[in-house]
Structure 1
C-alpha cells in the first residue's frame, strides 16, 4: 500500500527510515533534523519531532551525516534515534509543546 503524506495540506517528500510506534508511522525527513509522525490511515502528519542540536557541534565531522535511524522498544516504550556515521545512539523522550 502507498500513501501520500501531507503536512498542512502540502505533500511531504524525502521520508525514510520508517518505524511503527503505537499505531503511528514515524519517518525521518531526509536531510533535516526532523521526524514526522504520520497517521497511517490518512497520511496526514500529526506531529513533528525537532531533534536539531541533538548531536553536539563538536562531534560533527566531515564523515558524520544526517539523522537517519529510529528504533522503538514496545516492551519499555523507549524511543532511540541516531544518524548516518554517528558514534552515538540517543534515547529520546517526547515532550509536547
Structure 2
C-alpha cells in the first residue's frame, strides 16, 4: 500500500543525485518479495518487476548493506509502539 511504502521509502529508495536513474525501487521490492514468497528462481521473475539481474542485484545490495535489517527494525518498533505485536512470538524466517 502507499502507506506501507511511505513508512520504508527513505530506507530503500534514497534520493539519487548523480548517475543513471534507478529502476523503480518500489517495483524492485515487489519483485524481491514475489521471489521470496513464490520460491521461484530469479530468472523466472515476471517482467513487470524489471530485469531479473537488476532485482537480484538490488536484493544483494540491500541484504549486504543492512537495508533489510533497518526495514525490519523500523517495522518492529512501529508495531510494538502501536501494540500490534506479541513480543513472545516475534520472529522472522529466511
TM-score range, shorter chain: under 0.3
Q: Structure 2-normalised TM-score?
A: 0.26
TM-score (norm 1): 0.25
Question: Greater CA radius of gyration, 1 or 2?
Answer: 2
Bigger strand fraction: 1
Q: Which structure has the higher relative contact order (CA within 8 Å, separation 6+)?
A: 2
Judging by fraction of residues, say which structure has more helix: 2
